[in-house]
Structure 1
């Protein structure tokens, strides 16, 4: 009886914290492009997808978990699960390996995905399963496929989804290859950053479909014309995600910024330009362009993929400022 009472109290705290999170997300404007996502965030229990997570403490990372014998510790766990912040979910030797994304950023991305009833969605990067649950709540289990390279991640995501009452398709595999057996998709959303847009995604997305993916330190929203062509601009918001696992695309050393003015070194907009043009412009060239063009925001940039080639651009895909994307490795 005591255990039942404790469980009911935790459920009450979770519902209260979830309602507060939804109010915060709404106040941030993240639902503005598609208010229907509010219901998903109000109903899907995030704490079931993070049975434990880590917060930074004085002695490194502190583990919070729902099975803690202390009721106060369990309450801290469940309230923390509904803070509008990323949650570290996998740590190895003091290094962060994976996390659950900030809910307001997830909401913004889902709203920008521009889904409609009946759409089929492929998610690249299963994470905890929370994002797949939000998609499944909105569209239905049979419309959602999520893929991740790590079998431990997909097993945990599947377990979390089932605990929350959702059963989308969860696949263990290389996200760069997509999931052809469940194609075609109307939308593809990635939760990991890329060096180039995998051709398989275009081939598995219907003409007129949308691909939303982290790229450099932004979010690119591409419209697919056909299996070889896609194009679109970046959203205004910054976005920092772990790279797509699987060895696709080169890893590069961060650029050296010594000698550049402090306002450039400290500018998120300038660092975005550096990330987008790495391999094409050195920091001095990027800085000259950035100053000349009035420190352009992310939404002035875009990506084009055409016949196996890709390039980033400023203002116009056929204009004077275009930079080739790395070849697929």
Structure 2
């Protein structure tokens, strides 16, 4: 018996979904819970993706209209796909940059597992995006149990249409996710699909005592980690980090600083020194070191400048305060062995602070993100700690 086009499409999607399940289970190291397996089968990912997506570091455009097979392949790969660029505006001089994405399915289900939803729970999601994550939650919990907030009107409208088409009963609110949505609360669980540098107080205030707030974490130094907070009922919350994830920042917490435009001035006369700490040790492949430095220096950001057009310098690590008043640059020049040239300007010695933060992390036994935690106090202070809340992490700048 020959299959018609609709049956062929269904068979292809079923096969791709089965392949995605296998990839996700392999990434998680164990089979996902049966309820989530039913959700991934019952809520096809491709239904929630726009007709054009962008893939890879170069943001290569892929259109369902011109290349349906490749588009469908990306829809069921265990990778993130960008679903909006430049906040939906025309491409600017700086080119394309990602402003919304559909997260890799393995991190989606890792977060859903950490969220630990139960029958009868009410969930608030911050960052609707495509609507797929809200759809999975609504499939699991049933109609009227999921409220999701999206700041971008175009994204909110598209997600609303997709969710209504799926008939899942999730409510989409277009607005500022940092404010939450008290009308549908209190919630048993709050989950953000955007990263934060501070947890908005509304998310804690709108969560029941004993409830969970799960957020991807970001510091200006390094975007990495998931923070799972348990709300204490007195206006605060506390919990551990775990590894994984790198999400786009909550739009209200974005900063737009550039070294040559906002920080370094031609009139600056920097102080020169040397260091034995390689810039690669603090801003390279060691993600645990970077995470720890970010907790200690929550107001310092960094960026690499490869081939800076300086004789003998292969690359340069720039550091700056988020207030743009102090900066430092450390050169990888290949000429001084285990010594590296440091240039600093401004009222604070940023590289000295980085050396202290890295030294503390080494003395602590090089802990990974899973040994760190955070307490958010009723007055909004964020207090990082190592292993237990009574062992605070030193915050240096």
1:298 aligned onto 2:369: yes
| Partner residue in 2 for 1:88 | 82
| Partner residue in 2 for 1:242 | 248
Change (3 A) 1:85 1:23: same
1:321 aligned onto 2:393: yes
For 1:171, what is the secondary structure of its paired residue? strand
Aligned mates of 1:253, 1:289 — CA distance in 2:
29
Change (3 A) 1:19 1:194: same
The TM-score normalised by the length of structure 1 is 0.87
Aligned mates of 1:203, 1:164 — CA distance in 2:
31
Aligned mates of 1:324, 1:133 — CA distance in 2:
42
| Partner residue in 2 for 1:143 | 145
Aligned mates of 2:184, 2:40 — CA distance in 1:
26
Aligned mates of 1:8, 1:250 — CA distance in 2:
48
1:276 aligned onto 2:295: yes
Q: Residue by residue, what CA displacement relative to the aligned partner does 1:163-195 show, whole Å, maximum 9, x if unpaired?
A: 333230000111111001100100000011111
Change (3 A) 1:183 1:322: farther
For 2:26, what is the secondary structure of its paired residue? helix
| Partner residue in 2 for 1:128 | 130
Aligned mates of 2:19, 2:229 — CA distance in 1:
33
Larger helix fraction of residues: 1
| CA drift at 1:97 | 1.4
Q: How does 1:186-265 map to 2 (within 5 A)?
A: 186-216=188-218, 217-235=224-242, 237-246=243-252, 248=253, 260-261=277-278, 262-264=280-282, 265=284
| Partner residue in 2 for 1:46 | 45
For 2:228, what is the secondary structure of its paired residue? strand
Answer whether contact 2:127 2:177 (CA < 8 A) is retained: yes
Answer whether contact 1:209 1:224 (CA < 8 A) is retained: yes
Cα RMSD (Å) of the superposition? 2.7
Answer whether contact 2:239 2:373 (CA < 8 A) is retained: yes
Answer whether contact 1:202 1:227 (CA < 8 A) is retained: no
Answer whether contact 1:303 1:310 (CA < 8 A) is retained: yes
Structure 1 or 2, whichever has the larger Rg, is: 2
Answer whether contact 1:48 1:163 (CA < 8 A) is retained: no
The TM-score normalised by the length of structure 2 is 0.73
Q: How does 1:59-138 map to 2 (within 5 A)?
A: 61-65=60-64, 67-68=65-66, 73-92=67-86, 93=91, 94-138=96-140
For 2:162, what is the secondary structure of its paired residue? helix
Answer whether contact 2:383 2:392 (CA < 8 A) is retained: no
For 1:141, what is the secondary structure of its paired residue? coil
Aligned mates of 2:182, 2:144 — CA distance in 1:
15
Change (3 A) 1:27 1:253: same
Aligned mates of 1:302, 1:294 — CA distance in 2:
16
Aligned mates of 2:232, 2:32 — CA distance in 1:
23
1:288 aligned onto 2:359: yes
| CA drift at 1:51 | 3.2
Q: Aligned residue pairs: how many?
A: 314
Aligned with residue 152 of structure 1, among 145, 151, 154 = 154
Answer whether contact 1:127 1:153 (CA < 8 A) is retained: yes
For 1:126, what is the secondary structure of its paired residue? coil
